[in-house]
Amino acid sequence: MTPDNSKDVKFRDLVRRVTACTKCPRMAGSARVLGSGCGPLDAPLMFIGEAPGRLGADGSHLPFHGDKSGHNFEKLIEQVGISRYEVFVTNAVLCNPRDERGNNATPTSAEIANCAPFLQETVELLDPSIVVTLGAVALKACGVLDTHSFSLRDQVRTNSRWMGRSLIPVYHPGQRAMVHRSFANQLSDYQFVAETLRRLKRPRKKSVNTKPRPDATKLANVASQVLQNNPAGLSYFALHKLCFLAEVASLEMTGERLTNAYVVRQKDGPYFVDLHLAKLPQLIPGVQIRSVGTKITLRLSSQFDFHRTEPVGAITASDEAAIKKVLAKYGRMRDDELKRVVYLSRYMRALLRKERSTGANLYNAAVLPFATKK
């Protein structure tokens, strides 16, 4: 479903006002993290965190991406089968608060109050059926919008009514909160969220499918094949572009994507959030990463046994054909040549056309459609 035009226009206006906001003096140098990277405007579920992190959203402009909290968050939603394609992610305050030493700080009550009108407008405009607060600060900020008496300790993993919708408080996915609520417990919280979302999508059917989609496994397989094709090494840039071209080839050949991985448009073109550099060693255990200056090169260890790690059925014959086609045609191209090829793909052209015709800033917007078959 595509959000209606008026929603699009109102959201762009909201983003414009947020970008120009100077209400909080200590946020002067921080990014205003609200835009295409937050997710689709028709998302049925909205996550509200505390604030963009210094090493995460302040740099990536994607809420909960790029730092440890982001990695944990992405792992939690991935493991319960929630995709970024179906959620909108934002924060109680839209800029990164830092202490006098430059570290992440908790937003003050005044900063939360300053940003509350933006949060209120976002919730009312998107009108999600489910709001999930990540941590005590986000829960407190929701109380500024519409008074409640919920506490994180008492209401964690429960479904309450708030502003005419469901409110589910869970803990913040940052490392500090893991001391109070372990990753395993948080995973159960996210399973509750996923089940609530599934019930919403299929209200009359009792859902029993709590098995997570193997998106990460599939993406790991595709990326491993790309790396195997270049035993001498491949740039990090090329990995993203070749995986994107493999997805495009699959869409052209079968009408379906290889994976459901979230792919967004960044400065240099398509970027897979699950192929973030810090996540690669866990995703592809045999990967070796080398940085020389600004250039990052990847290769698979000679010990890496792709066939031993590949789950049966993860790569189908049609997947294989799409990947092979791309590697044969583009696998040895230089980065600048690859960049040109991806920009000529119909998905990148459509996004850029939309950006030109609407005047919207589509940096970090999803480039590929969400496909659910596999």
What track of x and - describes contact with ligand SF4 for positions 146 through 165 (by CB under 6 A)?
--------------------
At residue 166's C-alpha, the angle toward residues 164 and 167, to 5°, is 110
End-to-end Cα distance, the chain: 20
Candidates 82, 87, 93, 242: give the one binding ligand SF4 (CB under 6 A): 93
DSSP string over 52-76:
--TTTHHHH-STT-SSHHHHHHHHH
Q: Whole-number minimum distance, CB 33 to ligand SF4, in Å?
A: 9
Strand bridging mode 160-162 / 165-170:
antiparallel
Contact 242, 275 (CB under 8 A): no
The residue to which tokens 């572009």 are assigned: 241
Q: Which is nearer to ligand SF4, 141 or 351 (CB)?
A: 141
Q: Which is nearer to ligand SF4, 115 or 145 (CB)?
A: 115
**Separation in Å, CA 293 to CA 99, 112, 134, 296, 324:** 30, 40, 37, 8, 31
Q: Whole-number minimum distance, CB 92 to ligand SF4, in Å?
A: 9
Contact 317, 324 (CB under 8 A): no
Stretch that binds ligand SF4, among 91-99, 193-201, 285-293, 297-305 (CB under 6 A): 91-99
Helix, strand, coil in percent for the chain, rounding step 5:
50, 15, 40
Told to check if 27 binds ligand SF4 by CB under 6 A, we report: yes
Total chain residues near ligand SF4 (CB under 6 A)? 13
H, E, C per residue of 219-277:
HHHHHHHHHHCCCCCEEHHHHHHHHHHHHHHHHHHHCCCCCCCCEEEECCEEEEHHHCH
Contact 190, 77 (CB under 8 A): yes
Told to check if 119 binds ligand SF4 by CB under 6 A, we report: no
Stretch that binds ligand SF4, among 69-77, 87-95, 297-305, 341-349 (CB under 6 A): 87-95
Candidates 3, 7, 21, 316: give the one binding ligand SF4 (CB under 6 A): 21
Q: Whole-number minimum distance, CB 71 to ligand SF4, in Å?
A: 24
Contact 64, 89 (CB under 8 A): yes
Q: Whole-number minimum distance, CB 32 to ligand SF4, in Å?
A: 5
Told to check if 32 binds ligand SF4 by CB under 6 A, we report: yes
The amino acid occupying position 215 is D
Stretch that binds ligand SF4, among 111-119, 195-203, 247-255, 280-288 (CB under 6 A): 111-119
Candidates 7, 23, 279, 324: give the one binding ligand SF4 (CB under 6 A): 23
Told to check if 15 binds ligand SF4 by CB under 6 A, we report: no
Q: Which is nearer to ligand SF4, 116 or 333 (CB)?
A: 116
Contact 306, 225 (CB under 8 A): yes
Q: Whole-number minimum distance, CB 327 to ligand SF4, in Å?
A: 44
What is the C-alpha R_g of the chain?
A: 21
* DSSP single-letter state for residue 36: G
Told to check if 114 binds ligand SF4 by CB under 6 A, we report: yes
Candidates 46, 77, 80, 95: give the one binding ligand SF4 (CB under 6 A): 95
Q: Whole-number minimum distance, CB 93 to ligand SF4, in Å?
A: 4
Stretch that binds ligand SF4, among 23-31, 65-73, 173-181, 313-321 (CB under 6 A): 23-31
Which residues of the shown chain bind ligand SF4 in the complex (CB under 6 A)? Answer: 18, 21, 23-24, 27, 32, 93-95, 111, 114-115, 118
